[in-house]
């Protein structure tokens, strides 16, 4: 087999230099990369301010409060902290006054939330009709919500006064003896609940009204053709359509009842208001926390109370979520059975 070797004079062509892309193609490639980066990064840039603010004013205080709850800290010596572990939580959990405040908070929440949401549903149903001056009526029912807690509590404190209060004066006209509303265990809770109901009913009514106006009119027309009355349409069409909104208002009202502070504090005012009554008959969790943190200056137990309130709120939210999930499951089962 014959082979040939290259001669000394053989010419090897030099490598061709890399060709540069035209400027127009480079600009187009750069714009494409910039567009892809903007498409992926811009959503995070839009939501970043919220998370920055939440981290600074929500997450950091929450974590710092949890850190304080594990230490012995006084209001006058914030720079000296002594590690005590779970001692503060054990202290409040074995304090009968803590459980009294939990019971008071729960009872006031139930007494104020149930009538409040029922009245809000009724008001929203009335406002859903074509009324004259509808904007005026919506503004009127929202006025109590715009009133400050201090103003509302002071006015109702005068109404519920034991001597010379408007309510006792009215009871005297019809032959009843005056009632010391602030000193009674149930009457004090009822008085605080009236303030809460007055302030928040209009706010919840507008939420229900917005949800009612989103219900399709075809559902009401179909129910009317089937012979359903207005009351039956309200029960069979409106209420099921408002179920997510009702659950939302229940959660919001529950959170609000856990944070009750101004209403019980100003019902009697002074030292009695700051302790929730002479027998702690209307002391809420917020007032209990206030006494530990500001009156006694013990920030460790106060921070533990704050985390206990958070745990209770999460528990109540979980219960509401389970109830809503069970209701949705039952509705889907009913629809599945109806289609078979």
pLDDT digits (tens, 9 = 90+) for 85-104: 899 999 999 999 999 999 99
Quick one: pLDDT at residue 9?
Answer: 52
What are 222's two structure tokens? 């179909």
User: What pLDDT band is residue 340 in, cutting at 50, 70 and 90?
Assistant: low
204 neighbors 249 (Cβ within 8 angstroms): yes
Q: Which domains does the chain have, with CATH numbers?
A: 96-297 (1.10.3720.10)
Q: Which is nearest to 260 in space by CA: 181, 197, 166, 207?
A: 197
Q: DSSP assignment of 120-172, as one string?
A: HHHHHHHHTS--TTHHHHHHHHHHHHHS-HHHHHHHHHHHT-TTT-HHHHHHH
Quick one: pLDDT at residue 275?
Answer: 82
Quick one: pLDDT at residue 190?
Answer: 92
197 neighbors 119 (Cβ within 8 angstroms): yes
The rounded distance, in Å, linking the Cα atoms of 149 and 159 is 15
Mean pLDDT across the stretch 57-68? 89
Which one is predicted more confidently, 7 or 130?
130
Q: Where does 285-339 have alpha helices with state H?
A: 285-290, 299-339
The region, left, alpha or beta by phi > 0 then psi within -120 to 50, assigned to residue 280 is left
Quick one: pLDDT at residue 18?
Answer: 56
Mean pLDDT across the stretch 10-30? 61
Percent of the chain with pLDDT over 70: 89
Average predicted confidence (pLDDT) for the chain: 83
User: What pLDDT band is residue 233 in, cutting at 50, 70 and 90?
Assistant: confident
Which one is predicted more confidently, 269 or 224?
224
């Amino acid at each position: 087999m014959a082979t040939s070797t290259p001669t000394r004079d053989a010419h090897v062509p030099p490598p061709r230099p890399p060709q540069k892309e035209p400027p127009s193609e480079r600009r187009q490639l750069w714009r494409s990369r910039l567009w892809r980066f903007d498409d992926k990064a811009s959503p995070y840039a839009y939501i970043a301010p919220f998370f920055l603010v939440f981290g600074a004013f929500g997450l950091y205080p929450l974590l710092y409060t949890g850190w304080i709850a594990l230490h012995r800290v006084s209001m006058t010596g914030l720079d000296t902290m002594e590690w005590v572990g779970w001692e503060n939580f054990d202290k409040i959990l074995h304090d009968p006054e803590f459980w009294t405040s939990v019971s008071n908070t729960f009872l006031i929440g139930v007494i104020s939330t149930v009538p409040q949401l029922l009245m809000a549903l009724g008001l929203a149903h009335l406002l859903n009709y074509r009324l004259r001056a509808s904007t005026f009526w919506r503004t009127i029912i929202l006025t109590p919500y715009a009133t400050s807690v201090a103003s509302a509590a002071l006015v109702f404190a005068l109404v519920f006064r034991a001597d010379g209060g408007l309510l006792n004066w009215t009871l005297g006209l019809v032959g009843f003896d005056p009632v010391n509303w602030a000193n009674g265990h149930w009457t004090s809770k009822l008085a605080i609940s009236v303030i809460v109901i007055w302030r928040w009913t209009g706010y919840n009514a507008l939420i229900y009204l917005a949800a009612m106006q989103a219900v399709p009119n075809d559902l009401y027309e179909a129910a009317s053709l089937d012979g359903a009355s207005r009351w039956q349409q309200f029960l069979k069409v409106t209420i099921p359509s408002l179920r997510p909104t009702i659950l939302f208002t229940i959660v919001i009202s529950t959170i609000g009842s856990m944070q009750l502070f101004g209403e019980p504090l100003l019902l009697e005012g002074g030292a009695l208001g700051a302790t929730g009554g002479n027998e702690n008959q209307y002391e809420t969790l917020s007032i209990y926390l206030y006494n530990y943190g500001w009156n006694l200056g013990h920030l460790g137990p106060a921070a533990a109370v704050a985390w206990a309130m958070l745990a209770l709120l999460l528990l109540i939210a979980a219960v509401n979520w389970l109830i809503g999930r069970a209701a949705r499951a039952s509705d889907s089962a009913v629809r599945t059975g109806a289609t078979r």
